[in-house]
């Protein structure tokens, strides 16, 4: 399991009165998704079950990132 830190950005804007806001780091998330899709594309003809497993893991990872962001913003935002 990877750390979610690479996919999450946290900033404090001057207009937010000291509150921090978390959001998805799109370059990190897109890079991860692109590499996962490339690997799945390589294996789709050889082993479709493995390719499907790779894509399922990528979707679960994206859901985890979004859940972490929701919890952070609810707690600190």
* pLDDT tens sequence across 3-61: 667 788 888 877 777 788 888 888 888 888 888 888 888 888 888 898 899 889 889 98
SS3 sequence of 10-46: EEECHHHCCCEEEEECHHHHHHHHHHHHHHHHHHCCC
Domain locations along the chain: 4-76
Q: With 80 as the cut, is the pLDDT of residue 77 above it?
A: no
Global pTM value: 0.72
> For a pLDDT cut of 90, what percent of the chain falls above it?
5
């Amino acid at each position: 399991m990877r750390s979610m830190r690479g996919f999450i950005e946290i900033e404090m804007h001057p207009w937010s009165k000291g509150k921090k806001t978390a959001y998805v780091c799109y370059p990190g998330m897109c890079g991860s998704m692109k590499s996962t899709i490339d690997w799945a594309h390589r294996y789709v003809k050889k082993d479709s079950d493995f390719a499907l497993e790779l894509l399922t893991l990528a979707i679960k990872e994206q859901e985890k990132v979004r859940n972490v962001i929701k919890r952070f913003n609810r707690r600190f935002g």
